[in-house]
Amino acid sequence: MSIQWFPGHMHLTRKAIGERVKEIDVVIEMLDARLPGSSANPLMAELTSGRPTLKVLNKQDMADPVRTELWLDHYNAQPNTRAIALDASDAAPARALIDACFVLAPKRGGMVKPMRVLICGIPNVGKSTLINTLKGKRAAKTGDEAGVTRTESRIALADDFYLYDTPGMLWPRIVVPESGFNLAASGAVGKNAYDEEEVAYELLAHLKEHYPALMEARYKFGLTPEALLQTPEDTLLEHIGRHRGALISGGRINLQKAAELVISDFRSLLIGRVTLETPEQFGRWLKAGLKADADRAARKNKLREDGHIRPERQPKVDQRKAPRKSR
């Protein structure tokens, strides 16, 4: 299953970021600490034109601390980039990002050269909560659904520090299948874009391999880690449905409800502090995804060359705006 979600307002966001970044000193990209690679927008490097970037691994209190350190090392090793981890609702570490911005752009500051920062990230990553924490009041709307913020806004965090908030934005096509599942599990995509059972199966497959003790504590399978690893995901989901009372007439298990429970448990920290990927894992996924995408494009081009599919339509030129030929 391929998970894709790119509503119309995200096209506008992409255009707005491209315009705004021309006068920006630092870009803050907020990432979900539970899926730092999957929540990093591959369009940002293109849109931000190489601006200094601060990667903020938000929701660190929900993520595996050992894996969070791996991701911080990964991003801090990249040029013109810094990375910090925080919980957006905690005021003390949230202030650290202001200092990090001045490290990335040391020549900015003061009324003559105020710091201009663009903050962006995927939907439901916690931008609005962070901004409200920094501002000390409800400066931005918050919610647990993807796509709460719809328009850009400017917020003065200090006399010489301006923060430009943007709506959450994904990218037109997710080429890494594992990222699609992880984004769905985190709540970054709309509910209509994925099948809960498929996402729950992927979650369970990861959990039984990397967090068997947390799974056992939550769902009481009565299995050793080795036995749990050998148990199919559909069998595990059936047990969870029975254990949690997700039943329908005749005592049958409501797999849809059971899947929703697993996803909800992950999002609400009831399973425990879990991170769905490491830098090494995501690197493998990305390499395979890019190769598969290139192969798909090559097959499509071959079909087009052989006349099996129509050539791509060229955009129409508005003759009223077309430049006149010189005589």
| CB 214, CB 272: distance < 8 Å | yes
Is the pLDDT at 40 greater than 60, yes or no? Answer: yes
Spell 2-31 as b/e; 16+ CB within 10 A means b: ebebbbeebeebbebbeebbeebbbbbbbb
100-128: average pLDDT: 91
Rounded CA gap, 11 and 240, in Å? 40
At 313 the pLDDT is 62
* One fold for 9-165 and 195-267: no
More confident residue, 107 or 8: 107
Is the pLDDT at 164 greater than 70, yes or no? Answer: yes
Instruction: Break the chain into its structural domains and give their ranges.
Output: 9-165, 195-267
Q: For 47-113, what is the HEC assignment?
A: HCCCCCEEEEEECHHHCCHHHHHHHHHHHHCCCCEEEEEECCCCHHHHCHHHHHHHHHCCCCECCCE
Rounded CA gap, 55 and 40, in Å? 9
For 162, the enclosing helix (H) or strand (E) is strand 161-165
The fold adopted by the segment(s) 9-165 is: Rossmann fold (3.40.50)
264-279: average pLDDT: 97
Q: pLDDT tens digits for 200-256?
A: 999 999 999 999 999 999 999 999 999 999 999 999 999 999 999 999 988 899 999
Is the pLDDT at 7 greater than 80, yes or no? Answer: no
AA letter at 31: L
Is the pLDDT at 321 greater than 50, yes or no? Answer: no
Domain 195-267 sits in CATH 1.10.1580.10: yes
